Structure 1
Amino acid sequence: MTRLKHLDDYVDTLYQNADPRLQETIDLKEETRTHLEQSIRDLMLTGRSETEATRIALDRFGGAEQADSIIKTMQIQQNRFATRLFHIGLGVLLSSMIVFIASLWIGGKYDLTFADAVYLNVAEAVPIDAETGQAILQTSGLIHGVSMTATDTPGEAVSLSKRWAGTLGLISDERSYLENDVFTVIDVVDPRKIGSILLLIGLTVYYVLSTVWGVITLHTRQRLNLLSLALLLTLNVIGFWMANRVTSKEE
């Protein structure tokens, strides 16, 4: 029991610079303790006393230098993992920005398509009917609803929509046109809204992953405190740089 307590104290001292809350530290301490205990038993089987066996086992392990090397290796792995997360977040952000810019261009092109869909079909439609509305719906796959009302005879109206129209609330928009005394409203899928939602998702993914990267990196550099965390959460990468500068000056 005394030997085991001695080993526990020794292992705790070896890894005092590692975060005791991390599962990696807990596993590492347990592996080291098990390794040392087995080495002591093997040496005692050769006829050495417990004290001598313990001394030899500790010498063979390498002591604090070996522990520091293991800790540094573990920290390097953590930093690599954090950097990988940051690169993933940055890649997602850049991809979503490209998609957003493309959606603006595509949305502008489809604005002309939607306008033509109304003007070309309503210009010759007298009176308005379901056939005209159906022709507008078929002009583009992004048009999912159309309603037409004659301005001179409000009772004359047509309203049509596709079956899946009700599922597009977040990415749909209305376009209004007045042509040939017919007020036409079409419900369309707006590429710009799709791009905006994807951009928001990209920003969120980037913020979360870059924050995780910042927390891990500051922690391994022993610079994680309330101020650095606040700077990181509010200013992200700029806050990370500022937190490094502030803690460096304090040291």
Structure 2
Amino acid sequence: MIDEYVNQLYRSADPDLPETKELKDETRQHLEETVAELVFDGYSEQAAMKIAINRFGGEEQSQALIHELQLIQKLFAKQILRAGIVVLIFSLLAGISGFVARDISSPFERGIPYQLGEAWKTTDSAPLKTVVEEEWMVTGARIYSLSNNQVTLEQSYGDNVPSVFRPFISSLTNGTPDEGWEVELDVIDTVVLGLTLALLGLSAAHVLFAIWIIIQRHRTDRLSRTTTVLSIVIPALSILLYFVTKKRP
């Protein structure tokens, strides 16, 4: 009878919350001890149960405790949702920023390979070190001479890039073969970097939204349209970004 009453009393609270389990154990222990004392004093089990409930504070106080638990759960769900939204926005901004950074800061768009080639033609030397140190996207530079279908490395300079960052480095070539020179630059591929950060962010957002959906399911015993849409859209975006980054060279 006590177990049935306790389960009925806390039926609307999340059974997985530590607070719920603690309250249920305390309620059960208090009722068992009180009922045992009253039965020993001569009360029937039913009468003892009623008196024990009143001594505990009555059903109204118990419901107030349950309501407090639900408020805590609701607040936690809101925090999870906000964190998921922040991570989602960061992911989208990271993906977009990769394309913007490439268009704004690309050394090829600003004619740096051509400038290096012209400097090498004029003085047999080019300021490769200066370019690598001053251009944040450039991690290495090489100049090749082209003669009689032969390619000869004339000058090179580069930073030591940790192996973990090498997937985000692309080697791109630019030059004028007719004039006998070619410049190769190792540049940070901001598009791949941005898409990778976006993929990681979306994966984290997916986990946060999944937790939020589970909490909502426990609280309301149903899923709203917004919850259903998020549960479909976020995984779809993660899968799409995964295949996009996987197909890039």
Q: Which residue of 1 aligns with 2:202?
A: 203
**Cα distance in structure 2, aligned partners of 1:165 and 1:218:** 45
Q: Which residue of 1 aligns with 2:232?
A: 234
Structure 2 counterpart of 1:214, one-letter code? I
3-state SS, counterpart of residue 73 of structure 1: helix
Q: Which residue of 1 aligns with 2:181?
A: 182
Q: Which moves more between the two structures, 21-30 or 210-219?
A: 21-30
Q: Which residue of 2 aligns with 1:84?
A: 79
Mapping 1:62-211, distance limit 5 Å: 62-112=57-107, 115-126=110-121, 132-153=127-148, 154-158=150-154, 159-164=156-161, 166-179=163-176, 180-211=179-210
3-state SS, counterpart of residue 188 of structure 1: strand
Structure 1 counterpart of 2:152, one-letter code? E
**Cα distance in structure 2, aligned partners of 1:111 and 1:64:** 69
Q: Is residue 209 of structure 2 the alignment partner of residue 213 of structure 1? A: no
Which digits, 9 at most, give the CA deviation of each residue in 1:44-102, with x for residues without a partner?
Answer: 6xx95454655322123355544444333322321221121111110122233334434
**Cα distance in structure 2, aligned partners of 1:60 and 1:118:** 85
**Cα distance in structure 1, aligned partners of 2:87 and 2:229:** 23
3-state SS, counterpart of residue 147 of structure 2: coil
Residue 106 of structure 1 deviates from its aligned partner by 2.5
Number of corresponding residues: 226
Q: Which residue of 2 aligns with 1:223?
A: 222
**Cα distance in structure 2, aligned partners of 1:37 and 1:172:** 69
3-state SS, counterpart of residue 164 of structure 1: coil
What is the identity percentage for the equivalent residue pairs of Structure 1 and Structure 2?
26
Distance 1:90 1:59, change over 3 A: same
Q: RMSD between aligned alpha carbons?
A: 3.5
**Cα distance in structure 1, aligned partners of 2:3 and 2:50:** 15
Preserved CA contact (<8 Å) 1:14 1:63 = no
**Cα distance in structure 1, aligned partners of 2:14 and 2:86:** 30
Residue 22 of structure 1 deviates from its aligned partner by 4.6
Residue 218 of structure 1 deviates from its aligned partner by 2.0
Preserved CA contact (<8 Å) 1:174 1:186 = yes
State the TM-score, normalized to the length of structure 2.
Answer: 0.72
**Cα distance in structure 2, aligned partners of 1:125 and 1:99:** 37
3-state SS, counterpart of residue 59 of structure 1: helix
Residue 35 of structure 1 deviates from its aligned partner by 3.0
Residue 34 of structure 1 deviates from its aligned partner by 2.7
Distance 1:234 1:100, change over 3 A: closer
Which digits, 9 at most, give the CA deviation of each residue in 1:185-207, with x for residues without a partner?
Answer: 21111333332222222222222
Structure 2 counterpart of 1:81, one-letter code? F
Structure 1 counterpart of 2:2, one-letter code? L
State the TM-score, normalized to the length of structure 1.
Answer: 0.71
Distance 1:222 1:63, change over 3 A: farther
